[in-house]
Structure 1
Amino acid sequence: MVVTNERAPTSPLLTPSALTRLAREVLESNLANVWIEGELTNVSRPASGHLYFTLKDAGAQVRCAMFKPRSTWLPFKPADGLKVLARGRVSLYEARGEFQLIIEHMEQSGEGALRLAFEQLKTRLAAEGLFAESNKRPIPAMPQRIGIITSATGAALHDVLHVLGRRFPLIEVELLPTPVQGKEAPPAIIAMLDATARARRHDVLLLTRGGGSLEDLWAFNDEGVARAIARNPIPLVSAIGHEVDFSISDLVADLRAATPSAAAELLVPDAREINRRLQHDLGRLHQRMRRLLQAASQRNDHLLARLSQQRPQTRLDRGHQRLAQAQARMARLAQHEFAERRSRLLNLQTRLHSQHPGTRLAFRRDTLRGFHRRLENAQGQRIERRRARMQALGASLHALSPLATLSRGYAILLDEHSQSLVRSVQQAPAGTQLRAVLADGRLRLRVETGD
Structure 2
Amino acid sequence: MQPDSYLSVQALTKYIRRKFDADPHLRNVFVKGELSNLKVHPSGHIYFTLKDDKSRIQSAMFRSAASNLKFKLEDGMNVLITGDVNVYEASGQYQLYVQTMQPDGVGALYLAFEQLKAELSKEGLFNEKFKQPLPLLPQKIGVVTAQSGAAIQDICSTIGRRYPLAEIILFPAIVQGPQAAPSIVRAIQMAESVNSIDVLIVGRGGGSIEDLWAFNEESVARAIFSCRIPIISAVGHETDTTIADFVADRRAPTPTAAAEMAVPSKEELFERILERKRSLYTSFSNQIKIERKRLNSFEQSYPLQFPERLYRPFTERLSNLDDRLTRSRSELTTNRRAEHERLNRLLTYYSPIQRIKEGSNMTALLTERLTRATHNELRIYKDQFGSVVRTLKALNPLEVMERGFSIVYKNDKVVSSAAAFQKGDPIDIRMPDGTLRAEVKSVNVYDEGEE
TM tier relative to shorter chain: 0.3 to 0.5
State TM-score, norm by structure 2: 0.43
State TM-score, norm by structure 1: 0.43
